[in-house]
Amino acid sequence: MPEKGQPTASLKKIRAALPRFEIYEWRHASAVLITDFPDEWRDIRDVLSRFKLLKSQVCVGGGSKSKMAGWIDSELTDNKGWDEREFETAIRIDKEEIQSPTHKVDCFKNRVGLEIEWNNKDPFFDRDLNNFRLLFDLRALALGVIVTRSDDLQPLFKELARKKLKSKTAFGESTTHMGKLRPRLEGGAGGGCPVLAIGITASLFTEDISDDAARKLLARLEEARAKKKARKALSPQELDLLEAAKDDSEEE
């Protein structure tokens, strides 16, 4: 359950290991992770302890699968032996089999599932928790982990938007963050599945570029997007002519 009063010893241990993250749990997830899945806990701890929230990446954005989320994903899948897993389930009534939707988990290893929800619409939390609940009931999953934004990032994002260093609409209140996740956990959306919620906080923000450099980066990005949009508006014949003209200029 989300803690009431004093946190458990296992939750204290996880918070001590990841002091720059906001950590909450449902149904003693911290104890399950540390005690029953020490290797998977070691993987998560190692990856997150090296994570930095770079200003350059925040300014550029990237939707639900930004560079920040992609980095965590790739560190687990490429270097730690986790993988994306699809679970196909079906219901059998007498001799009739009824197919049910496929359930996908972004990062999975040894019955531990991890989802990264950085800038998705908040109903994605419902999808994740429903998947965790169902897979737990089917004994395919023992523990779910969700990494998302902490609420304390919102003032930082508003300041970046004020300086015109990011879109005003990116990272809005209707997208995934801890304030949207905790009520769902407390409301039982994850069912009996233990869930560890990990929030990326403002203390992880790293000024890797200046404001001027960020503005130049955004300008180049907008220019590239405009060119891509312009190309999409061209017909196949016009695209062929454009490529032919490009080839002619390169030959000269």
Residue 111 confidence (pLDDT) above 80: yes
Which of 44-53, 137-146, 155-164, 165-174 has the weakest average pLDDT? 165-174
Please tell me the predicted confidence (pLDDT) of residue 99: 63
Indicate the Cα dihedral angle 110, 116, 121, 127, nearest 10°: 10
d(CA 20, CA 205): 10
Query: Of 97, 92, 195, 105, which Cα lies nearest the Cα of 143?
Result: 195
- Bridge partners (DSSP) of residue 96 are 93
pLDDT of residue 241: 53
Report pLDDT digits (tens) over 161-180. Answer: 888 887 655 666 667 888 98
Tell me what the mean pLDDT of segment 18-30 comes to: 96
In a 3-state reduction of DSSP, which class is residue 113?
Answer: strand
Higher-pLDDT residue of 96, 215: 215
Q: Given a cut of 80, is residue 62 above it in pLDDT?
A: no
CA distance 96 to 153: 50
37, 142 Cβ separation under 8 angstroms: yes
Cα 100 to its chain centre, rounded Å, is 25
* Average of per-residue pLDDT across 86-103: 70
- Tell me how far apart the alpha carbons of residues 202 and 20 are, in angstroms, rounded to a whole number: 8
Q: Between these two residues, 141 and 217, which has the higher pLDDT value?
A: 141
Tokens at 244, concatenated: 């032919």
Domain boundaries, the chain: 9-209, 211-252
With a cut of 50, say whether residue 252 has pLDDT above it.
Answer: no
Whether the per-residue pLDDT at 53 is higher than 50: the answer is: yes
Architecture of domain 9-209: 3-Layer(aba) Sandwich (3.40)
Alpha carbon distance 39, 26 (integer Å): 21
Q: Helix (H, G, I), strand (E, B), or coil: what is residue 45?
A: helix
Task: Over range 45-72, report the average pLDDT.
Answer: 82
First to last CA, the chain: 70
Please, are residues 97 and 91 in contact by the beta-carbon 8 Å criterion?
yes
Burial class (CB in 10 A: 0-12, 13-18, 19+), 139: exposed
Mean pLDDT computed over 18-35: 96
